[in-house]
């Protein structure tokens, strides 16, 4: 029997969870600033959603999905990414019919891919993402990119670079596809069996084949940017101009294909350029997808979004030696100096907590000295010591731990004082 963590998963222990809270809060704040609202979708969906949405010739769908049959014989899949689910919800709840468009949503949820685990690559990982549906204005492409950049800035990650590309519209992509087939076909025997199937099914996928990536024909393959029609060029130019206007530096990489089939026009990735970060440097990936809403039975609706890998952000913060603010400190530690004071300690801690003041006590019947030590370890701002005299008078010694200042005050005064202190913070 194997009782250990499944490969590629992680526990997030209490000491680490404050980092997650910090990232979640900062992401939420940035999203709300940009007027995105949270959406939550189920962890599993019908398998067909990803086959049709992400594309059955992608590695994600063909090799990496956690697919199972439920007791009713349905094929279900733990979601490998967030976009397909959000678009499904958009169609299912007819959000395209809402007056206020575009619909802008964000999410922060676990995703599942059966990949070979390594640093920054897990089988269960978390994505913070956004999707904006209902606008094909290039200014929203730049809004989406600038939101990601604003988030990175807020959490202090500055050693990053933005890489963009355009996959163009349908017409441009068809022309590029023909050129790719013509380029690879005469030499396809040199490629792996999977690429031989990809040649006619989806030749773009040859460009990100993990086995053949060293083949020089991949480097010399025709570039999508040479096949963009006028409209696609104009769109891409607009995106670049807006990025420049917002002073967001970027590089163009015409070989960036992304691992999902739904993209067209703008695609982008944000990577860490921190030294020694390791192989998995892409922190954020995203782009436009104009066919997905229609594919799922809705009206023609353009969309754009991104996904950020939270575990990778944590690695990047660690590599950059950026310290994340520690958890909320403890306000008061109530010490029962003798067993008779225990009941009072229980009720006082309860009363403080009910007044919104964080309070703690001992639960191991420790002696006075050991309780003081525990209060120090927990970094309590104040301690209250309950001894015989305090029980009789109803006035308690409130001690500020840092300054050592101490005085006898009533229960009511303690609550008032600590409430004011909390509001001032
Ligand atoms: P993706 O590029 O497959 O795009 O994933 C986005 C990010 O998720 C990656 O850049 C990476 O940080 C993180 N990630 C992916 N796989 C793993 C893994 N196995 N372990 C840890 N982190 C991982 C998407 O998923 C698209 N849905 C993004 C998007 C949204 N495009 C448009 N809207």
Residues 259 and 400 in one domain: no
| pLDDT value of residue 422 | 73
d(CA 422, CA 364): 28
Whether residue 203 has its Cβ less than 6 Å from ligand 1: no
CB 94 within 8 A of CB 81: no
273 and 361 within one domain = no
Burial state string for 6-35 with b = 16 or more CB within 10 A and e = fewer than 16: eebeeeeeeeeeebbebbeebbeebbeebe
Q: Which of 294, 319, 344 is the last residue of a domain?
A: 319
Q: Are residues 336 and 314 in the same domain?
A: no
Give rounded-to-5 percent helix, strand, coil for the chain. 45, 20, 35
Ligand 1 centroid–CA 111 distance in Å is 9
348 plus 245 within the same structural domain: no
Q: How many CA atoms lie within 13 A of 175 on its CB side?
A: 13
**What was the pLDDT predicted at 333?**
97
Q: Tell me the per-residue pLDDT of 356-393, one tens digit each, with 9 for 90 and over.
A: 999 999 999 999 999 999 999 999 999 999 999 888 99
Report the chain's mean pLDDT, rounded to a whole number: 94
Q: Let me know if residue 114 belongs to a domain.
A: yes
pLDDT of residue 91: 98
Choosing from 118, 285, 286, 313 the residue with most ligand 1 atoms within 8 A of its CB, the one to mutate for a pocket test is 285
Q: Are residues 312 and 345 in the same domain?
A: no
**Residues 314 and 336 grouped into a single domain:** no
Looking at residues 1-11, what average pLDDT do you find? 92
CA torsion angle for 19, 22, 23, 24 (degrees, to 10)?
120
Same domain, 43 and 146: yes
Residue 205 domain flag: no
Q: Is residue 203 part of a domain?
A: no
Do 275 and 405 lie in one domain? The reply is no
Q: Which of 319, 344, 368 is the last residue of a domain?
A: 319
| pLDDT at position 419 | 86
Residue nearest to atom 30 of ligand 1 (CA): 306
Nearest CA to ligand 1 atom 33: 305
Residue 209 lies in a domain: no
149 with 257, same domain: the answer is: yes
Per residue in 254-269, pLDDT (tens digit) is 989 899 999 999 999 9
In a domain, 343, yes or no: yes
Span 141-150, mean pLDDT? 98
Look up the CATH number of the domain holding residue 386: 3.40.50.800
Domain boundary pick from 261, 296, 319: 319
**pLDDT at 325 (0 to 100):** 73
For residue 215, being part of any structural domain is answered with: no
To test the ligand 1 pocket, which listed residue (39, 55, 81, 120) has its Cβ within 8 A of the most ligand atoms? 81
User: What does the pLDDT read at residue 210?
Assistant: 84
Residue 156 sits in a domain whose CATH number is 3.30.930.10
Instruction: Assess if residue 216 is contained within a domain.
Output: no
Q: Per-residue pLDDT averaged across 79-84, rounded?
A: 98
Same structural domain, 33 and 160: yes
Q: Please give the tally of structural domains in the chain.
A: 2
Residues 158 and 130 grouped into a single domain: yes
Q: Containing domain of residue 384, as a range?
A: 332-424
For residues 241 and 147, state if they share a domain. Answer: yes
Residue 184 lies in a domain: no
Please tell me if the CB atom of residue 102 comes closer than 6 angstroms to any atom of ligand 1.
no
Q: Where are the alpha helices (DSSP H) in 213-276?
A: 216-219, 230-245
Which residue lies with its CA nearest to atom 18 of ligand 1?
121
What digits encode the pLDDT tens for the residues 306-336?
Answer: 999 999 999 999 999 998 877 678 999 999 9
pLDDT confidence tier of residue 170, bands split at 50, 70 and 90 = very high
80 lines ligand 1 (CB under 6 A): no
Strand-pair category, 264-272 with 160-166: antiparallel
Q: For tokens 């397909």, what's the residue? A: 84
The atom number, within ligand 1, closest to the CA of 258 reads 2
Return the higher-pLDDT residue of 211 and 135.
135
pLDDT band at 193 (very low <50, low <70, confident <90, very high): very high
Least confident piece of the model among 13-17, 30-34, 245-249, 375-379: 13-17
In tens, the pLDDT along 60-78 reads 999 999 999 999 999 999 9
* Ligand 1 center–CA 23 separation, angstroms: 17
Question: Ligand 1: distance of its center to the CA of 98 in Å?
Answer: 29
Q: How far is the centre of ligand 1, averaged over its atoms, from the C-alpha of 241 (Å)?
A: 26
CB 382 near ligand 1, within 6 Å: no
**Percent of the chain whose pLDDT exceeds 90:** 84
Work out which ligand 1 atom sits closest to the CA atom of 289: 32
Ligand 1 centroid, distance to 115 Cα (angstroms): 12
């Amino acid at each position: 029997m194997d009782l250990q963590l499944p490969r590629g998963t992680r526990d997030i222990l209490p000491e680490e969870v404050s980092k997650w809270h910090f990232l979640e809060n900062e992401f939420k704040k940035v999203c709300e600033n940009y007027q995105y609202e949270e959406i939550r979708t189920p962890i599993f969906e019908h398998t067909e959603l990803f086959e049709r949405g992400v594309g059955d010739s992608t590695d994600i769908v063909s090799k990496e999905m956690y697919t199972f049959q439920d007791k009713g014989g349905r094929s279900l899949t733990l979601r490998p990414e967030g976009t397909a689910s959000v678009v499904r919800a958009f169609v299912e709840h007819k959000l395209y019919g809402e007056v206020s468009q575009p619909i802008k949503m964000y999410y922060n949820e676990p995703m599942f891919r059966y990949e070979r685990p390594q640093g920054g690559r897990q089988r269960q990982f978390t994505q913070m993402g956004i999707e904006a549906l209902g606008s094909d204005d290039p200014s929203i492409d730049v809004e989406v990119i600038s939101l990601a950049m604003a988030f990175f800035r807020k959490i202090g990650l500055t050693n990053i670079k933005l890489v963009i590309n355009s996959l163009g519209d349908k017409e441009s992509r068809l022309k590029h596809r023909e050129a790719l087939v013509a380029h690879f076909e005469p030499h396809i025997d040199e490629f792996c069996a999977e690429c031989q199937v990809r040649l006619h099914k989806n030749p773009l996928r040859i460009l990100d084949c993990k086995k053949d990536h060293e083949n020089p024909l991949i480097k010399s393959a025709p570039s999508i940017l040479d096949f963009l029609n006028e409209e696609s060029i104009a769109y891409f130019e607009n995106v670049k101009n807006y990025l420049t206007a917002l002073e967001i530096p970027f590089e163009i990489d015409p070989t960036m294909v992304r691992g999902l089939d739904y993209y067209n026009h703008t695609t982008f990735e944000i990577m860490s350029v921190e030294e020694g970060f390791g192989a998995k440097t892409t922190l954020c990936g995203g782009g436009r997808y104009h066919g997905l809403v229609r594919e799922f039975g809705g009206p023609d609706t353009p969309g754009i979004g991104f996904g950020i890998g939270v575990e990778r952000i944590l690695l990047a913060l660690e590599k950059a030696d950026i310290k994340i603010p520690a958890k909320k400190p403890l306000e008061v530690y109530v010490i029962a100096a003798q067993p008779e004071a225990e009941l009072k300690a229980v009720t006082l801690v309860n009363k403080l907590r009910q007044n919104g003041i964080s309070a703690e006590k001992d639960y191991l019947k420790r002696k006075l000295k050991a309780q003081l030590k525990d209060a120090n370890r927990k970094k309590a701002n104040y301690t209250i010591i309950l001894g015989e005299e305090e029980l009789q008078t109803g006035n308690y010694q409130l001690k500020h731990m840092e300054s050592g200042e101490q005085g006898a005050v009533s229960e009511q005064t303690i609550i008032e004082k600590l409430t004011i202190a909390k509001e001032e913070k």
